[in-house]
Amino acid sequence: MSEPAEISPLTLSRLPLYLRCLRQLQEKGTTHVSSSQLAQQFELSASLIRKDLAQFGEFGIRGTGYRVDELVDRLNGLLGLDRIHKMAVVGMGSLGSALARYLSVNDRPFKIVAAFDVDGGRVGSKLGHLIVHHSREIPEVIPETGARIAVLAVPASAAQKCYEDLTDSGIEAVLNFAPIRLKRNPAVRTKSVDFQIYLEELAYFLRS
Amino acid sequence: MSEPAEISPLTLSRLPLYLRCLRQLQEKGTTHVSSSQLAQQFELSASLIRKDLAQFGEFGIRGTGYRVDELVDRLNGLLGLDRIHKMAVVGMGSLGSALARYLSVNDRPFKIVAAFDVDGGRVGSKLGHLIVHHSREIPEVIPETGARIAVLAVPASAAQKCYEDLTDSGIEAVLNFAPIRLKRNPAVRTKSVDFQIYLEELAYFLRS
DNA sequence: ACCCGCTTGTGAACCATGTCACAAGCGTCT
DNA sequence: AGACGCTTGTGACATGGTTCACAAGCGGGT
């Protein structure tokens, strides 16, 4: 079809999934894969996968399927995973530290370039070869480091303030883990991950 | 209307949000609230909130709004948050430990009653006043403790095996943090939280 | 007792998403 | 070269969710 006008959010959420699966196939040496093979990997319908992929041009080969290498490259480019993404982590409590470790490993193109906290015991300490800054230094340090993504792992009471400091400092995307509904800056892509709410959703199914 | 036939998943995901906001209002001493007041707290439309709430009977008062106390009680009951929910945590790495701390605090009705890992250095250690068991003991310990919810925080390579052990042991709901697409047991409510994928989604918006 | 303002509950229109079914097209085998 | 099997790309349909608009109804003030 035409060029990526605007990917629908649900399609977008599946692309990284496809990509992950394709990389596994790539490592196994598989060169081609059909939509129905992909479909049974995840629990999705083959036609949905085809529709998702067809939005970015026709790179399937009828009768054969998709070339794994080509699809990986294309999706990587589409998602912007062919560049390095610099991230800042705010809040170095147990969750923030775990996330820092968790998100920067692997061959992923996400690198942590700054860390912040307000706790005197943690400010100045080391995260790998990074120094933990005080959160009040966000406005200076963020532009210096060039971070564009921030991971927010502070207590709910501090989250809104930190969020605003970050967005004011030029951060363009935020992944929030504080259990609070942020008042969003519309210019900044903001995604919230709220464990408490997930648990409460699960609890609903256990009211037997 | 009639009794909770089956709540749609999107409605369900908003109910905990409402509840959290309502509890805050309750603490501030607010007795009544209108759908439009709630709407501007989150970024939702008032009519959506009314539709969500109207599914469980009419407890709004026309001209006035909703009674906060009543709504809190009703939603609490609906989500099953008026009982204690026993949870098991599997994988006590940095993420698992952080989650354990994070999810069991507060006045929330979720209590951790068992913890598991495979690492010799961690098995036998203490989590609060709990002992960390070896994961191979899942089939015995889960039924003993009566846990119905499990939090999976193990490496991707171990996740499917652990998931199956858990569901075979009577676990009824799983919150998975391993970066992998689980082959699900249809009898078990399974929710996956995948940080890597969230980051990749955000990266898409940064391909300037 | 009545009126008036405000807010709910809800049917209908609108939109997004996913499913189905099938024509178009590639590759292979004879 | 031609026919066949398989798989994609895609239009038409079905489903589910949200917004809109408004009648119904509560409560306070006169």
Tell me how far apart the alpha carbons of residues B69 and B71 are, in angstroms, rounded to a whole number: 5
Check CB contact under 8 Å for A95 and B98: yes
pLDDT at B2 over 60: no
* Rg of the Cα atoms in chain A: 20
Inspect the interface and report whether the beta carbons of A79 and B200 lie closer than 8 Å: yes
Per-residue pLDDT tens over the stretch B78-120: 999 999 999 999 999 999 999 999 888 766 899 999 999 999 9
For the beta sheet containing A32-33, the strands, ordered from the edge strand earlier in sequence to the opposite edge, are A32-33, A65-67, A60-61
pLDDT value at residue A57: 86
Calculate the angstrom distance between C1' of D17 and CA of A87. Answer: 35
Q: Is the CB of B54 under 7 A from strand D?
A: no
Nearest residue of chain A to residue B83 (CA atoms): A207
Q: Which residues 52-91 of A interface with strand D at a CB distance below 7 A?
A: 53-54, 58-66
Q: Which residues 27-86 on chain B approach chain A with CB closer than 8 angstroms?
A: 41-43, 78-81, 83, 85
Q: Which chain D positions have some atom within 7 A of a protein CB?
A: 5-11, 16-21, 24-27
Locate the domains of chain A by residue range. 9-79, 85-198
* Nearest alpha-carbon partner for A138 in A166, A101, A178: A166
Angle between helices B94-104 and A94-104 (to 10 degrees): 150
C-alpha closest to that of A156 among A184, A135, A177, A173 = A177
Strand D and B6 CB separated by under 7 Å: no
| Cβ of residue B207 closer than 8 Å to a chain A Cβ | yes
Q: What is the pLDDT of residues B110-168, one digit of tens each?
A: 999 999 999 999 999 999 889 999 999 999 999 999 999 999 999 999 999 999 999 99
pLDDT at A128: 87
Superfamily of domain B85-198: NAD(P)-binding Rossmann-like Domain (3.40.50.720)
Q: Is the CB of B45 under 7 A from strand D?
A: yes
CA B63, B30, B50, B84 torsion-angle sign: negative
> What percentage of chain A reaches a pLDDT higher than 70?
97
- Whether residue A208 has pLDDT greater than 90: no
Closest residue (CA) to C1' of nucleotide C5 is B63
Name the token pair of A152. Answer: 């927010």
- Quick check: B1 pLDDT over 80? no
Cβ–Cβ below 8 Å for A206 and B173: yes
CA distances from B22 to B41, B77, B104 (A): 10, 14, 21
A126-184 tens-digit pLDDT? 998 899 999 999 999 999 999 999 999 999 999 999 999 999 999 999 999 999 999 99
Averaged over A89-93, what is the pLDDT? 98
Q: Are B91 and B116 in contact (CB under 8 A)?
A: yes
How far is the C-alpha of A149 from the C-alpha of B10, rounded, in Å? 27
CATH placement of domain A9-79: 1.10.10.10
Q: Is the CB of B51 under 7 A from strand D?
A: yes
The DSSP annotation for B73-129 comes to HHHHHHHTTTS-EEEEEE--SHHHHHHHHHHH-TT-SEEEEEEEE--TTTTT-EETT
DSSP string, A148-200: -EEEE-S-HHHHHHHHHHHHHTT--EEEE-SSS-----TTSEEEE--HHHHHH
Q: Is the CB of A51 under 7 A from strand D?
A: yes
| Length B35 CA → C14 C1' (Å) | 22
Task: Quickly give B2 CA vs D8 C1' distance in Å.
Answer: 46
Contact A79 B203 (CB under 8 A): yes
- Residue A193 vs residue B42, higher pLDDT: A193
Tell me what pLDDT residue A1 has: 38
Q: What is the mean pLDDT of chain A?
A: 94
